[in-house]
Structure 1
Amino acid sequence: MDSFSTLLRTASHEQHVEAETSTFMSDLLGGRLGVAAYARYTEQLWFVYEALESGAERLAADPVAGPFVRPELFRLPSLERDLAHLRGADWRAGLSALPATAAYADRVRECREQWPAGYVAHHYTRYLGDLSGGQIIRDRAERAWGFARKGDGVRFYTFEQIGNPAAFKREYRELLDAVRADELEKQRIVTECKRAFTLNTEVFRALGEEFPLTAA
């Protein structure tokens, strides 16, 4: 029988691929969009991580979500440094969430406040993705727009407190395998994981509409 971490990965594979191969992300990674699109994307991330991390410490004692509340993963301070670099010191004044982003953040916040197991689903889809595929985005941004390696502009993708990402991801999967949930609740987590990827894809779709490639 597959472990829960394996089940989570395989069951959400289709939605994960759809998010990764969205037109917006393909154009961004392919160098066909400018730094303005990257900055707008970074703004949208701020809303999602604000929902994920603000008040997360209140889940620290929860038997299901508590083991996943790891301060070394928190991204908000790094996102805010990146936004100050990309948008200037008054970046908050121009911050705005796309409707798709607001819907995503609202769902994350709802899970954080009302359903700890659902919070785990969103935690998994965000942080393990940041530790893995996020490094491709960091490398592209550094090359395309001249950001210092792991410096301002790409700090979101730099986990300074995690010395060995591969070992950390193995430990994280062990936490998933040990999650305190029965089989029905695990299936609900899988469903929420798929929903998280779909919500993320909707953000990419909205960004793609905001930053369409000009026809030749």
Structure 2
Amino acid sequence: MNVIPLSTALRERTRDAHSTSEGAGFMSALLKGERSRDDYISLVAQHYFVYAALEAATERMRQDPVASRFISDKLTRLPALEADLEFLLGADWRERISPLPATAEYVARIEQVGSTWAGGFVAHHYTRYLGDLSGGQHIGRVMKRQFGFDTNGIGFYIFADIADPTAFKDVYRDELDAVPWDDAEKERVIAEVLLAYDFNTRLFDDLARGTEHAVA
């Protein structure tokens, strides 16, 4: 009997959800140049809330024997997001942004599993960071070209401390395949990754409906 590695099962069983989220109307329009700079800023603002929750959970999970395998300071995005928002909105950016409804629900879920369940934390960690190191790199290049950014404004997409993203992702997937979870726990983790993609799609749907409440 062939045992399917967890990284392979994750990729195969979340492919459709990943494609749906990646091709959400808002992101598709943004990448085609059909959205404004303000729309992009609203996306950055929502990312700030998501990564603030995820990286707070990272600090809580540093001592967990399984979750700690996936934690690397090279992935940290919050300082880059803060710098991007200051560049895009000014020094008072914290007072000008607020989470959209889907973002608030997404954040609540990350906070919940990031306090109580290593597998759930890893599911969200995997979904966000491996996505950032994959399709996120394309998004950063397109935003740079569309809006005339240099590095300011797209720092979120720049992983200066990771020289070889492909090699980094390979090591990450090896760690996934080595975790000592039983089949039931692996199923729970896969379900949580699907949930993470759903939250991300709903975040994009909120952005597509209008950004007037995301940035003041």
Superposition TM-score tier, normalisation by shorter sequence: over 0.9
- The residue matched to 1:54 in structure 2 has which SS? helix
Asked whether 1:113 is paired with 2:119, we answer no
Question: Matches of 1:54 and 1:79 in 2, distance apart?
Answer: 14
CA distance in 1: counterparts of 2:180 and 2:37, whole angstroms: 43
- The alignment's TM-score, normalised by the length of structure 2, stands at 0.95
Shift of 1:51: 0.5
Q: Deviations over 1:117-167 (max 9, x none)?
A: 10000000000000000011101111110000xx11001000011111111
* 1:3-22 correspondence to structure 2 within 5 Å: 3-22=5-24
Q: Is the 8 A contact 1:111 1:118 kept in 2?
A: yes
Q: Given residue 80 of structure 2, which amino acid in structure 1 is its aligned partner?
A: S
Q: State the shift of 1:2 in Å.
A: 2.0
- Aligned Cα root-mean-square deviation (Å): 1.2
Q: Which amino acid aligns with 2:6?
A: F
List runs of 5+ in structure 1 lacking aligned partners. Answer: 212-216
- Match in the other structure for 2:173: 173
Instruction: Check conservation: 1:64, 1:181, Cα contact below 8 A.
Output: no
> Structure 2 counterpart of 1:175, which letter?
E
- Structure 1's consecutive aligned runs of 4 or more residues displaced over 4 angstroms after TM superposition are none
Q: Is the 8 A contact 1:44 1:97 kept in 2?
A: yes
Measure the CA separation in 2 of the matches of 1:57 and 1:51.
10
Question: Mapping of 1:41-190 within 5 angstroms?
Answer: 41-148=43-150, 151-190=151-190
Alignment check: 8 A CA contact 2:60 2:115 kept: no
How many equivalent residue pairs?
Answer: 210
Q: Residue 214 of structure 1 corresponds to which residue in structure 2?
A: none
Amino acid at match of 1:7: A
Contact 1:82–1:156 (CA<8 Å) still a contact in 2?
yes
- % identical equivalent positions: 46
